[in-house]
Amino acid sequence: MIKPHGSDVLTPLFVEDTYRRAKLMAEADTLPSLLLNSAAAANAVMLGAGYFTPLRGYMNIADAVSVAETMKTRNGLFWPVPCLNRTHAIKSIKSAKRIALRDPNVAGQSVLAIQDVEAIEEISEKQLNRITEKIFGTLDQAHPGVATFMTLGKYVISGPIQVLNFSYFEKDFPATFRTAVQIPNEIQAKGWETVVAFQTRNPMHRAHEELCKMAKDAVNADGILIHMLLGKLKKGDIPADVRDAAIRKMVELYFPENTVMITGYGFDMLYAGPREAVLHAVFRQNAGCTHLIVGRDHAGVGNYYGPFEAQEIFDTIPEDALLIQIFKADNTAYSKKLNKVVMMRDAPDHTPDDFVNLSGTRVREMLAQGKALPEEFARPEVAEILMRYYQSEDAAITG
C-alpha cells in the first residue's frame, strides 16, 4: 500500500469514540442548525470517511478559488476540486461560532456533523462563474454538474467539522459502503501490496470486466478494488442498489476467488471529467490503492470533454502531486476477429464492424424492450438483473 495524500496517516473526521460522539449529539441539540444541500452532505461524509485526507473541513472562498485556478490550496496542498458548504440562507446561523449540520438525505433531517464556523462569506457571481468554468470546463446549464453546482447557494460557510454518522450509506449499503480507513485494513488483512482500483457509477459490462483483468495483469497487482459511487446521480443513471447487485453477480461468476474487493463510497457524482478523475485518484490513494484505471471519458457526460482528457490531465500535474499511478486505458470492446475483449489501440487491423460496441442509449432501449444483450457485450446474468430493473416501475420513475 501507499501513504495517504498529503499526510503520513489518514485523517478521518468521524468521531469514533461512542461517549464523545453522544456528547456532541447532545450539544448539537443546543446549537443553531443548518440544513445542508446534498453536495455539502456528501462532502461531510467523505471528510468523515477519510477520503478527503488531509482536509479538516470546508474551504473558504479564497481556497476554493485557488483550488479552481491552480489545483492547490493557498498553503500549497494539491487538491483538484473545492470542498464547500454553500447555502442560500444564513439568518439562523449568522452570528454563530458553532453549528449543527443537518442531513437533507435522511428522514427527520438528523444531525450529520458539527462545524466550527471560521467565516461566512458571500461568493460573487464572477467568482462562482470562474470556479465553475475551471472545475467543469463549461458554464453550460445543460451540463448536470454545472446545473447543480451553480444553484447550491451564494453563502460559503468555512471551518473544521466533526462528523457524527455516515448519512444513509451504512444503512442502505451495509455490505458495500466502506470508509478510507476500512479499505486499507481489509487490503492489509488480505496481504495485498499492489492494488488496482476501478471507479464506476455504472453497471459493469464485459469490457469493464476485462479491463480490470487487463490492468491487474499489466501492473502485476495482487487484487482489484471495484469502488462504486453510492450517492446522487443524474436522471436516467442506474440506481446504486441495482448496480451493486449486477457487479456482485459478475464478480461471483467471472473473477477468480479472492481477487476482488467490492466496495462503495458516499459521494454525489460531479460529472466533472478531468478534474473529477484527479479527485478519484486522491480517493483511491487515501484508500490504499497503488493504481487507478482511467479509461475513455472517465467521469464525463455528453460531449463536454474529449475522450481522453481525463488521462491527459495527469500529464499536466506536478510529478510529486500524487503517489498513486494511473493505468491509462483505451476504449475496450469485443473483437469478433479475435473472439475476446481487447483495447482498441491493440487491434490496429480492425474496422468498426469488427467490434461489438453498443451505445448506452441502445443498451437501455434493448433492456427496456426485454431484448437480450449480445453475450459479447454483457454477461447474461448481469443483463438479466439490468433487464428486470429497466422493465420495473422504478426505472419509469427515475428515468
**What is the set of active-site residues?**
201-202
Structure-block grid coordinates of residue 197: 482500483
Main-chain phi, psi angles of 60, to 5 degrees: -90, 180
Structure-block grid coordinates of residue 135: 472545475
User: Helices 125-136 and 61-70: crossing angle, nearest 10°?
Assistant: 40
Q: What is the 3-state secondary structure (H, E, C) of 83-140?
A: CCCEECCCHHHCCCCEEEEECCCCCCCCEEEEEECCEEEECCHHHHHHHHHHHHCCCC
For residue 392, what are the contacts with CB-CB under 8 A and spacing of at least 6? none
Q: How many CB atoms lie within 10 A of CB 178?
A: 24
**Residue labelled with grid coordinates 503517489:** 323
Structure-block grid coordinates of residue 252: 461471483
Q: What is the CA radius of gyration of the chain?
A: 21
Q: Is 105 exposed, middle or buried (0-12, 13-18, 19+ CB in 10 A)?
A: buried
Q: Is 281 exposed, middle or buried (0-12, 13-18, 19+ CB in 10 A)?
A: buried
How many whole angstroms separate alpha carbon 79 and alpha carbon 70?
9
Structure-block grid coordinates of residue 366: 434493448
